[in-house]
A and B are shown apart, each in its own frame.
Chain A
Amino acid sequence: MSRRDEELQEEIAAHLRMAIADRMARGASREEAERAARREFGNVTHVAEVTREAQRGPALWLERLAQDLRYGWRALRRTPAFTAVAVATLALAIGANSAVFTVVNSVLLAPLPFRDPGRLYAASYLPADLPFELPPGLDDRLYLEYRGHVSRFEQVAGYQRQALTLSGAGDATRLAGARASANFFEVLGVQPALGRAFTPQEDQAGTDQVVILSDRLWRTRFNGDRSVLGATITLDGIPRTVIGVMPRGFTFPAASELWTPLALRLDAGNSFIFPVVGRLRAGATPDQAKSELEAIAGAMPQDPRTAGSHPAAAIIPLKQTLTSHVRTSLLVLAGAVLFVLLIACANVANLLLIRAATRRHEMAVRVALGASRGRIARQLLTESVLIGLIGGAFGILVAFAGVRGLLAMAPAGRIPRVDEVQVNGWVLLFTLAVSLITGILFGLVPAKSGARREPQEALGQGMRLMGGPHYRLRSVFVTGEIALALILLTGAGLMIKSFLIMRSLDTGYDASRVVTMAVDLPPIAFPDAARMQAFHTALLERLARIPGARAVGAVSFRPMSDMGIMGDFQAESPTPLPHGYTVDKTTVSPGYFGALGIRMLAGRDFTAADRAGAPGVVVVSEAVARRIWPNQSAVGKRISMQDHPGPNDWLSVIGVVNDVVQDEHLSRHSTIYLPYLQTTLPFFISHMTFVVRPAPQAGNLAPEMRAALRDVDPAVPAQALQTMDESMLDTIAEPVFQMRLLTAFAILALLLAALGTYGVLAYDVTERTREIGLRIALGATPGNVLRMVLRRTAALALVGAALGILGSLALTSVLSKSLFEVKPTDPATLAAVTAVLVLAALLAGYLPAQRATRIRALTALLQD
């Protein structure tokens, strides 16, 4: 006790002595005087406590906080089981939130790792009604015009992702990279760590044989050797001089390993569209930049081929163009994991309420000793915040593991900025804030109601018939938990159903074990179509000789690929083709349809005789045949790929095949197939995927296929060596990722909700032991008792489920973009998850119900 406290005690003692002495002087006996003086003085402890508060003034809260923390810590240690369950629940929930926040923060929130990134914008001027999605960009002519006249941007830079084959140094590999204008690095504000950026001279076609390496490529492939500057490496068969190495971590755009100059070559017949990034001038606004872009584009001579299209100008924050496609799904995940946290909060709040009920005596004693209600509420709140903080501390460990798990589960290359994802100061701050908020959130109600308890009521508790204190409050929490869990389960259920539909989708081909291998033929080594055709023929023959290969074929763009060539065509038909009707134009080898299990519906497949010089032929897919020649046979009809076909430009339809699922949206495309031996345009056959159907007992053919390619041309690397089934999984990787995470969160939510239901009912039964004993004594059967407890469980579960269904109907539409042929309000899914949840709740209620039936009437009534 401090000296100050001693003095205060002495002051109070003197007061009492004088009061007693006065009373005795007026004739009271010593005993009477003492009693009267004490009664008049009141509660000594209380007076001392409030006086100390007045002495210290406002600085007292700190000391009291320390005292509350010490007291709370002791209280938590006295109930280790409660503390462990509460901390573990919160650690999981807070950790999951921190892990998701880590990804959201790094991908969506953190500024791009460039100089003053808030001023970087993408410029776009594209027709709004294209049949396919294009990332924002400008066409080459507009870019050149814009670059020369733009004033709202300091400057603008063009770039285009590309894949390049690096040969010479080790095995030939295909690397992700980009073509970039000379000022690209300057616009971003990042300079090479070694060497220099491109000069404007090097950005001209013909003098552009230079390359800049990423830090990682430099270290892994060139051993971090500085003498690589000035060395020559071979990319797509073209020798290029290494002039620079970018700093570590710079991989823009999209995990690029190397950069070559953009070096535009205008093509009279085609336009080339690519992304353009600009640095906004200080003081200029995106709106001004947009008007300027419209003005510059509007002043350009109209290209007759794009007449009638309505391009829209847009100035979009660069970060948004990189992350917009994952934004929704990341925010959905963040929302889902927040629900898990809310459920955990409700659970811990319920635990606290139950614990508060068992601590009624302790609180009553403290009130009787003079502790104010505010003081007790503060004490209880300190305890819950302490639980929150301990949970948060463990949650950080969970977050580290969670981030690792998330990244391992994430589909490769789909989440932008994934190499920037890390648990950093923001994440720690977030975790601290969440821990504090959750501690207050789940502690507030128990603290308020815990402090309201009247001492008399608690000290002399009588017989209780209606479920004990906080009966209604506990029910509200459990109902809320069940409702939230149901919403998560619905989300997961919808994703699972969508996944099952995708997996059982009739793709139009039958090729789950078929192995694919893609190649790209660089124009330097393969300057014309004839040389490419020779390569394809040689490789097809070599692949056919692999033991275990049942059928082989080749296709320019296989089903489920993210590329393709689309366009219009002319047809001999009674009615003109609808305007804007476009089809996939795919080049294949003879035998491709059979190898992939695509059915010939009419006519014949291509043969080796369908070569240059022979009559031009095509195979069309069913949708094309039905669209152009309804109720007629397509075989024998003629089409042309030329806008104004001459007499020799017509091709005969020799066969009809079924449509196949082509793109990542799993939609079936209308396709015209051309024989690769009759193709004269190199870009129709420079990228080719070879497919090999294995014999039933054959093992993994991939190594044999790689060897076959090496035999034919060692400078051409094998890409995408995988089965068609893997390609399918690749294509749906994003929804699958979302499905897995949502399912994991939903299962966690289900377990927490079941645990919460169990805890509350178990406590109910304990509280009502005497009542139940009385009922049994009055003749209730075990069946009656069982039903009574289960009825309460069912009531909680059904109310929760009803609220959850309403919540689901309101919320699941955020999933609509990720769902395939499932409505967000799918009644079957709602019914199924409701059944699962109610069953789980009943199961959780069954154990306490069982225990209730074993209560012995006599023991219960003699209790206390």
Chain B
Amino acid sequence: MTGPRGLSRIELLQGTLDLIVLQTLRWGPSHGYGIAQAIRASSEDVLQVDTGSLYPALHRLERKGWIAAEWSTSENKQRVRVYRLTVEGRKQLARERSQWEQLSRAIGAVLAPPAPRGNEP
């Protein structure tokens, strides 16, 4: 995933991309192209998913059993591979979400301006 330039691809790959993919599939099954478009749209064009990261992530999540895939026919009668969230995947999403929230709270606390010391009891 290439977002704002300068972010390491590996960091996003290991944790965040999985989380984003799982989150995207919460709204219903989708194919790879659809997932990429959805991420792009919901991030207001900030996050552009690199296919070289997206497809390995999809197949890795599938191997781990968090998502399942099947071939179906698209609106314009073409065979596409559609991914959906499994029960395990839902649990995993909950876990990753809470971890992410903890992390972003922690980082937010670090980055927030410190309270003035004089007011402490």
Cβ of A14 under 8 Å from chain B: yes
Query: Is B33's CB under 8 angstroms from A53's CB?
Result: no
Cβ of A775 under 8 Å from chain B: no
Cβ of B57 under 8 Å from chain A: yes
Complex CA–CA separation, A102 to B54 (angstroms): 55
Chain B residues positioned under 8 Å from A53 (CB to CB): 56
Query: Is B78's CB under 8 angstroms from A55's CB?
Result: no
Complex CA–CA separation, A46 to B56 (angstroms): 11
Query: Is A21's CB under 8 angstroms from B76's CB?
Result: yes
Chain A residues positioned under 8 Å from B60 (CB to CB): 54-55, 57
Q: How large is the interface on A (under 10, 10 to 19, 20 to 34, 35 or more residues)?
A: 20 to 34
Q: Mark B35-53, 1 if CB is under 8 A from A, else 0.
A: 0010000000000001110
Closest to B57 in A: A54
Chain A residues positioned under 8 Å from B71 (CB to CB): 7
Chain A residues positioned under 8 Å from B74 (CB to CB): 14, 18
Query: Is B79's CB under 8 angstroms from A51's CB?
Result: no
Query: Is B57's CB under 8 angstroms from A14's CB?
Result: no
A 39-91 contacts with B by CB, 8 A: 41-43, 46-47, 50-51, 53-55, 57
Query: Is A15's CB under 8 angstroms from B52's CB?
Result: no
Complex CA–CA separation, A50 to B54 (angstroms): 10
Complex CA–CA separation, A47 to B55 (angstroms): 7
Cβ of B81 under 8 Å from chain A: yes
Cβ of A706 under 8 Å from chain B: no
Least Cβ–Cβ distance between B29 and chain A, in angstroms = 14
Chain B residues positioned under 8 Å from A57 (CB to CB): 60, 63
State which of B56, B76, B78, B81 has its C-beta within 8 Å of the C-beta of A54: B56
Query: Is A55's CB under 8 angstroms from B59's CB?
Result: yes
Q: Mark B75-112, 1 if CB is under 8 A from A, else 0.
A: 01011110000000000000000000000000000000
Chain B residues positioned under 8 Å from A10 (CB to CB): 79, 81
Chain B residues positioned under 8 Å from A51 (CB to CB): 55-56, 58-59
Chain B residues positioned under 8 Å from A18 (CB to CB): 31, 33-34, 74, 78, 80
Query: Is A41's CB under 8 angstroms from B51's CB?
Result: yes
State which of B32, B37, B52, B78 has its C-beta within 8 Å of the C-beta of A50: B52
Cβ of A11 under 8 Å from chain B: yes
Query: Is A54's CB under 8 angstroms from B52's CB?
Result: no
Given contacts A50-B56, A54-B56, is CB(A19)–CB(B50) below 8 Å?
Answer: no
Complex CA–CA separation, A53 to B55 (angstroms): 11
Q: Give the most central of B31, B52, B57, B63: most A CB within 10 Å.
A: B52
Cβ of A550 under 8 Å from chain B: no
Given contacts A15-B51, A41-B51, is CB(A54)–CB(B59) below 8 Å?
Answer: yes
Chain A residues positioned under 8 Å from B57 (CB to CB): 54
Q: Give the most central of B50, B55, B58, B76: most A CB within 10 Å.
A: B55
Q: Give the most central of B34, B51, B60, B81: most A CB within 10 Å.
A: B51
Chain A residues positioned under 8 Å from B31 (CB to CB): 11, 14-15, 18
Q: Give the most central of A7, A8, A14, A57: most B CB within 10 Å.
A: A14
Query: Is B52's CB under 8 angstroms from A42's CB?
Result: yes
Least Cβ–Cβ distance between A2 and chain B, in angstroms = 14
Residues of A within 8 A of B (CB): 7-8, 10-12, 14-15, 17-19, 21-22, 41-43, 46-47, 50-51, 53-55, 57
With A18-B80, A47-B52 already in contact, 11 other A-B pairs whose C-beta atoms are closer than 8 Å? A7-B81, A11-B31, A11-B81, A14-B74, A14-B79, A15-B51, A19-B33, A41-B51, A47-B51, A47-B55, A57-B60
Q: What 9 A-B pairs are tightest by C-beta distance, nearest first?
A: A54-B56, A54-B60, A51-B55, A18-B33, A15-B33, A54-B59, A11-B81, A55-B59, A50-B56
